[in-house]
Amino acid sequence: MKAIVHIGLKPGVLDPQGRAIARSLGDLGFSEVTGARQGKVIELDMKGNDAEKAKASVIEMCEKLLANTVIESYKIDIEA
Amino acid sequence: MKAIVHIGLKPGVLDPQGRAIARSLGDLGFSEVTGARQGKVIELDMKGNDAEKAKASVIEMCEKLLANTVIESYKIDIEA
Amino acid sequence: MKTAVIQFPAANCDRDAITALEKITGRESTLIWHRETEIPEDIDFVVVPGGFSYGDYLRCGAMAARSPIVNDLVKKANGGLPVAGFCNGFQILCEAGLLPGALLRNKNLKFVCKPQKLKITNGNTRFTSAYGGQQEVVYPVAHHDGNYYADDATLSKLEKSGRVLFKYVDNPNGSARDIAGICNEDGNVFGMMPHPERAVDPLHGGTDGINFFKSILESR
Amino acid sequence: MSQDIEITKDIVAEHGLSKDEYKIILDRLGRTPNMNELGIFSVMWSEHCSYKSSRRHLGKFLTTGERVIQGPGENAGVIDIDDGDAIIFKMESHNHPSYIEPYQGAATGVGGIMRDVFTMGARPIALMNALRFGEPSHPKTKSLVDGVVAGIGGYGNCVGVPTVGGETNFHKGYNGNILVNAMCVGLASTDNVFYSAAKGVGNPIFYVGSKTGRDGIHGATMASAEFDDDSDEKRPTVQVGDPFTEKLLIEACLELMATDAIIAIQDMGAAGLTSSSVEMADKGGVGIELNLDHVPQREDGMTPYEMMLSESQERMLMVIQPGKEQLAFDIFEKWELDVAHIGETTDTGRLTLHHGGKIVCDIPVAPLADDAPNYDRPHKPTPKRDVLDAAHIALTDVNAGLLAMMGSPDIASRRWIWEQYDRHVMADTVDSSQSGGDAAIVRIHGKNKAVAITTDVTPRYCYADPYEGGKQCVVETWRNLTCVGADPIAITDCLNFGNPERPDIMGQFVGCIEGMNEACNALNYPVVSGNVSLYNETNGVAIPPTPAVGGVGLIPDLDFHTNLAGAKDGDVLLMIGENTGWIGSSLYLREVAHREEGAPPPVNLKMEKLHGDYVRRLIRNRRVNAVHDCSDGGLLVTATEMALAADIGFDLQRPAGSCAISGWYFGEDQARYLLAVDENSVNPILSTAEGLGIPATKIGTFGGKRLTSNDGLSLDIGKVRSTYEAWFPKLMES
Ligand SMILES: Nc1ncnc2c1ncn2[C@@H]1O[C@H](COP(=O)(O)OP(=O)(O)O)[C@@H](O)[C@H]1O
Ligand SMILES: [Mg+2]
């Protein structure tokens, strides 16, 4: 089983990386881009095949380690 | 329109971040995790509403800037 | 020898590079702004400095490698202009395609700043000839993403063709085959994570870097 | 939030204003404030901005001196180091944010203190940090250390200013409340220093740097409130640092400062746009009118209240010379920074804000500053402790004692930390952490002179006796500067204490300040800037009193500097100063005997001055190969640090008839230095000392690779080194 964890900055938190990316794309002539945000994805290989249980334990991992919940929010997808 | 770009290390490229995550999760007692990889997601806000055209231009952005194709591969999703 | 240092927003070792170049050449070095489109014709040697161009956002060196001045740098380097990139400058040269491979996050994920022992693995190049057979040098390192990566074929090719100029003694960052510094096929473009420009002053980081610059000066 | 909301008692209380404070506001306005106005009063009158508990005591400090160009009152202090060069420096705390989010808290702390320095026209040339964490075994300590160190490095390394030194201690007193104090030192020309007083009428006000977001709203009040178990819920006030923008801002500001376009400039620190505009207006005796519609905004729909209270980082406010607007626009646009003309100076003496075609705030500036509360809080002196006789503290095995000390949290090598800091960028760090000097040395670019920088405080002394501890922290910085051959010039400080509303805490605060000031006066060593951080408590438990001091000195000629690493084979080890074996409140007592008691060592300021001046003279006469002052851990730890730095052993000889053995090796008598000197320098040094009335004793010789003594000390230097180096990595990798 795989768990895909998407981690992004909470709305309102400054995203200097995203801003710099948007500006750089503009400089390269991609004027259709009006904004950018950068986040992380963590892909976990997991034993077992109980999706419910996996999700619960990934939530715990996010709270304990993977996400910095002070400024980041996360979303979990479990793939068989 | 939004473009979501997933960027990950190509298979075979050492992923120090992913490895450290797997190890830390193990240390925290999450023994069900057997491996981890870390990637990036870049979310772009885009003008226009032609998904085809948007995708073509995001591919160009990836080749030119967003991904380093020596070590990274990418995947693009366009959302209306 | 007329030298120039490229100035990117927040590539903060431009002063280190200029200090070293001026000390060794005895001449003023030119700072070239990243938005310029041309490197002046009379420049004999260009340094792409270390630091954190664009904050190292997205990927180290990625944004700088797409700036107008680097377009011209690539052209002139392909025409034979000697170029050296240190630290972030090495990352930029790789990102710009002037050197093969890429720099990943250090193996232990930590920034590392310390004097680093290096083995000179090819003393017969325009960047190392003045060492006169000296085998080891110490240059400071200071980086977060210095873990050199290239596929095996590329690594073997680099080694076989004498394009690996320096290797780490006690690899500080996980670089493949302990590679610290490499050059391009024509031998005029060089990049490394350690800082020879911070090793030209006994009070600062030692003096082992002086012969690096002397090599370039003498090989002209 | 709209200004039409009715102000209730609860709203006033939520803003941290007391009933009496609110009454003054009503009085001065002659009406009820609207929300925006209330918010502005609340942050301006917070402890953080108004110094309401500390102001009257800070006023006692010696703040002037021959070399002082600007003392406290501006963004940072300014001293003259000859040849038209000025050094601008300050230290500041970011304790609460760093506890909540260690990486970003520490990073923005570094960013903030750098802005205070370059606001005044200086290029930052060095960063320092003073850190206190809880017990190593506390479950939070490791991740806090990890995050704070990464944050300091992450910001400083990226901006490209070397982090050249600092200090790190561990104690259970900081379990729930760590301290992150950052110091920045910058270099300017004496004839191009910038101040914050706005001047003139109708002069344009420019906003530059990052856009304003909703981050950090009420950060200033957060930094002035005690923690409780709900603190985790107050998280969204944390700000994210953007070192890339900071670097651009430094370059852009310095470029504009090289022209004559700036009349006044002020960074937006705590309480952002509010405190910067009010301070500029107040200091210049003018009014300020701003149109908030022109403030660059990161998010849609921001209210005036949010804009005025936001603590978004990397922003500056300046008053521009009329006619120079275009020049300013051009420079900031070159550096790709947001820049906006948001208002004008006026002659009304009022702060007037427009938003959406309406006036949303119109208050007189003077009361915000002049009528800010200024409390004389009751203070109770800390009871004196008994003197502890070293004869009652056993030391049976010197080897075990030394190893225990060298591997203890407060002595063990900090390599794990400083290898994460770029210490060399800018090409002028002379003596980095690598060689373990008492003070960092940073050369003035292109010249053969340097500044020496150090930070110190010994909280266990301050806790035991605030007055003696206050003296000691100032004196220790002075000694450390002396050890590298510098003339000490001035200090900055960061006064970290608990809740000032408690008389015992206030007693610590007052005691420390009075002790510090006594030392400043005796050493002619003024305070030129500083910061106060109060309410460092969790669930009613206060941190130990921690007045961190940052000292700056001048090495006029780099050919004459020293550090602790120069001892050579055959050198004689001399001790300057007297060893009475003072064991009370010593580190040995705490780490090995597990007792935290006894009066701390008294500080004799006359002796300090005499001994230090003599050591400096010996350095200038090239009489010494290495110098190290005795502090934490006493004589044996000091000598061992010299041995490790030079990779050379020593043999110590405790003279017959000296004090008790535990005290001789590990006691912490003040005013002491250890010197490594050539054999043939010994007699001249001893006889001159005798003439000056300075105790000086030969206590050993350097040589070989073992540490030995006539009390059975016998250790291989490699063994000592591995104990010393292993502690930190082991903690962090466990
Ligand atoms: N403990 C102190 N010792 C000396 N000066 C202090 C102290 N605390 C604050 N100051 C001075 O008070 C002024 C205001 O400090 P602060 O609010 O920290 O400034 P800023 O808003 O620039 O960060 C500064 O000039 C500072 O140097
Ligand atoms: Mg300030």
For the cut 70, the answer to whether the pLDDT of residue D357 exceeds it is yes
- The residues near B9 (Cβ < 8 Å, ≥ 6 apart) are B15, B18, B37, B39, B71, B72, B73
Q: How far is the CA of D421 from the centre of ligand 1 (A)?
A: 26
Query: Can you give the pLDDT at residue C171?
Result: 98
Helices (H), D55-186: 55-58, 95-100, 102-118, 141-159
Q: Tell me which long-range contacts D49-53 makes (C-beta under 8 A, separation of at least 24).
A: D49/D220, D49/D270, D49/D271, D49/D275, D50/D372, D50/D373, D50/D374, D51/D532, D52/D372, D52/D373, D52/D374, D52/D375, D53/D375, D53/D377, D53/D500, D53/D501, D53/D506, D53/D509, D53/D534
Active site residues of D: 48, 94
Over residues D546-554, mean pLDDT: 98
pLDDT tens digits, one per residue of D583-640: 999 999 999 999 999 999 999 999 999 999 999 999 999 999 999 999 999 999 999 9
- The residues near D419 (Cβ < 8 Å, ≥ 6 apart) are C110, C111, C112, C113, C114
- Does ligand 1 have an atom closer than 6 angstroms to the CB of D72? yes
- Chain D positions touching C114 (Cβ under 8 A) are 419, 434
Identity of the residue in D153, D424, D426 whose CB atom sits nearest the CB atom of C111: D153
Give yes or no for a contact between D163 and D125, defined as CB atoms under 8 angstroms apart.
Answer: no
Q: Whose C-alpha lies nearest to ligand 1, atom 27?
A: D529
Which H/E stretch holds residue C167?
strand C164-168
Query: Any idea which of D1-5, D281-285, D504-508 has the lowest mean pLDDT?
Result: D1-5
C142–D157: do the CB atoms touch at under 8 Å? yes
- Chain C positions touching A21 (Cβ under 8 A) are 57-58
Residue D326, amino acid: Q
Number of domains in chain A: 1
What's the CA gap between D631 and D577, in Å, rounded? Answer: 12
pLDDT-derived band at D435, boundaries 50, 70, 90: low
Query: Can you give the pLDDT at residue D233?
Result: 40
Query: Can you give the pLDDT at residue C7?
Result: 95
- Dihedral pair phi/psi, residue D723, rounded to 5°: -65, -45
What's the CA gap between A11 and D298, in Å, rounded? Answer: 11
B30–A54: do the CB atoms touch at under 8 Å? no
C204–D159: do the CB atoms touch at under 8 Å? no
D443–C114: do the CB atoms touch at under 8 Å? no
Give the nearest ligand 1 atom to D90 CA: 27
pLDDT tens digits, one per residue of B56-65: 999 999 999 9
pLDDT tens digits, one per residue of D56-106: 999 999 999 999 999 999 999 999 999 999 999 999 999 999 999 999 999
Helix orientation angle between D243-257 and A16-27, rounded to the nearest 10 degrees:
70
Pocket probe mutation, ligand 1, options D47, D54, D509, D531, max atoms within 8 Å of Cβ: D531
For chain C, domain boundaries: 3-218
- The residues near D546 (Cβ < 8 Å, ≥ 6 apart) are D132, D179, D457, D459, D462, D495, D496, D497
> Which of B2, B23, B31, B42 is the best residue to mutate to test the A interface, defined by the most A CB atoms within 10 Å of its own CB?
B42
Please tell me which residue of chain D has the smallest CA distance to A11: D299
3-state secondary structure (DSSP) of residue D581: coil
- Does ligand 1 have an atom closer than 6 angstroms to the CB of D495? yes
For the cut 50, the answer to whether the pLDDT of residue D414 exceeds it is yes
Q: CA of A21 to nearest chain C CA: how many angstroms apart? A: 7
Q: Pick the more confident residue, A68 or D141.
A: D141
Question: What domain range is B21 assigned to?
Answer: 2-79
Query: Can you give the pLDDT at residue D178?
Result: 98
Query: Can you give the pLDDT at residue D522?
Result: 98
pLDDT tens digits, one per residue of D12-46: 998 889 999 999 999 999 999 999 999 999 999 99
pLDDT tens digits, one per residue of A9-66: 988 888 999 999 999 999 999 999 999 999 999 999 999 989 999 999 999 999 999 9
Subunits in contact with chain C (3 or more CB pairs closer than 8 Å)? A, B, D
Look-up of token digits 């929300």 = D35
B13–C104: do the CB atoms touch at under 8 Å? yes
Q: Is the CB of residue C12 less than 8 Å away from at least one CB of chain D? A: yes
- Chain C positions touching D419 (Cβ under 8 A) are 110-114
Over residues D296-316, mean pLDDT: 92
- Which residues between 30 and 69 in chain C have a beta carbon less than 8 angstroms from any beta carbon of chain A? 54-55, 57-58, 63, 66-67
Give yes or no for a contact between C174 and B16, defined as CB atoms under 8 angstroms apart.
Answer: yes
| Residue C195 bears catalytic tag | yes
Q: What is the DSSP code (8-state) at residue C176?
A: G
- Chain A positions touching D239 (Cβ under 8 A) are 14
Q: What fold does the segment set C3-218 form as a domain?
A: Rossmann fold (3.40.50)
> What residues form DSSP beta bridges with B73?
B8
What's the CA gap between B21 and B15, in Å, rounded? Answer: 10
- Does ligand 1 have an atom closer than 6 angstroms to the CB of D93? no
- Chain C positions touching A20 (Cβ under 8 A) are 54-55, 57-58, 63
Query: Can you give the pLDDT at residue C89?
Result: 97
For the cut 90, the answer to whether the pLDDT of residue D734 exceeds it is no
Look-up of token digits 């259970």 = D172
Give the nearest ligand 1 atom to D63 CA: 4
Q: CA of B35 to nearest chain C CA: how many angstroms apart? A: 16
Query: Can you give the pLDDT at residue A1?
Result: 92
D101–A71: do the CB atoms touch at under 8 Å? yes
Query: Can you give the pLDDT at residue B70?
Result: 92
Identity of the residue in C16, C54, C114 whose CB atom sits nearest the CB atom of D427: C16
CATH of the domain at A9: 3.30.1280.10
Query: Can you give the pLDDT at residue C153?
Result: 96
Q: Is the CB of residue A14 less than 8 Å away from at least one CB of chain B? A: no
pLDDT-derived band at D217, boundaries 50, 70, 90: confident
> Which of B40, B60, B70 is the best residue to mutate to test the C interface, defined by the most C CB atoms within 10 Å of its own CB?
B70
Question: In this structure, what token pair is assigned to residue B21?
Answer: 């995550």
Q: Is the CB of residue C34 less than 8 Å away from at least one CB of chain D? A: no
Query: Can you give the pLDDT at residue D223?
Result: 46
pLDDT tens digits, one per residue of D326-340: 999 999 999 999 999
Is beta strand C45-48 parallel, antiparallel or unpaired with respect to D487-496? unpaired
pLDDT tens digits, one per residue of D258-300: 999 999 999 998 889 999 999 999 999 999 999 999 999 998 8
pLDDT tens digits, one per residue of B14-71: 898 999 999 999 989 999 999 999 999 999 999 999 999 999 999 999 999 999 999 9
Identity of the residue in D101, D213, D245 whose CB atom sits nearest the CB atom of A12: D213
Identity of the residue in C13, C113, C195 whose CB atom sits nearest the CB atom of D160: C13
Q: Catalytic pick from C13, C34, C60, C87?
A: C87
Residue of C60, C81, C84 whose CA lies nearest to C209: C84
| Residue C197 bears catalytic tag | yes
Q: Whose C-alpha lies nearest to ligand 1, atom 4?
A: D530
> What residues form DSSP beta bridges with B55?
none
What's the CA gap between B50 and D615, in Å, rounded? Answer: 77
Residues of chain C with pLDDT under 50: none
D240–A23: do the CB atoms touch at under 8 Å? no
Identity of the residue in A17, A27, A28 whose CB atom sits nearest the CB atom of C57: A17
Give the nearest ligand 1 atom to D279 CA: 21
Q: How far is the CA of D530 from the centre of ligand 1 (A)?
A: 5
Q: Is the CB of residue A54 less than 8 Å away from at least one CB of chain B? A: yes
| Residue C41 bears catalytic tag | no
- Does ligand 1 have an atom closer than 6 angstroms to the CB of D493? yes
Pocket probe mutation, ligand 1, options D117, D512, D529, max atoms within 8 Å of Cβ: D529
pLDDT tens digits, one per residue of D224-243: 455 444 443 443 567 899 99
Look-up of token digits 């750089």 = A24
Q: Whose C-alpha lies nearest to ligand 1, atom 7?
A: D530
B34–A43: do the CB atoms touch at under 8 Å? no
pLDDT-derived band at D214, boundaries 50, 70, 90: confident
Q: Is the CB of residue C110 less than 8 Å away from at least one CB of chain D? A: yes
B39–A41: do the CB atoms touch at under 8 Å? yes
Give this complex's ipTM.
0.92
- Dihedral pair phi/psi, residue D304, rounded to 5°: -55, -40
Q: CA of A28 to nearest chain C CA: how many angstroms apart? A: 8
Identity of the residue in D238, D244, D245 whose CB atom sits nearest the CB atom of A70: D238
Query: Can you give the pLDDT at residue D232?
Result: 39
Q: CA of C208 to nearest chain A CA: how many angstroms apart? A: 37
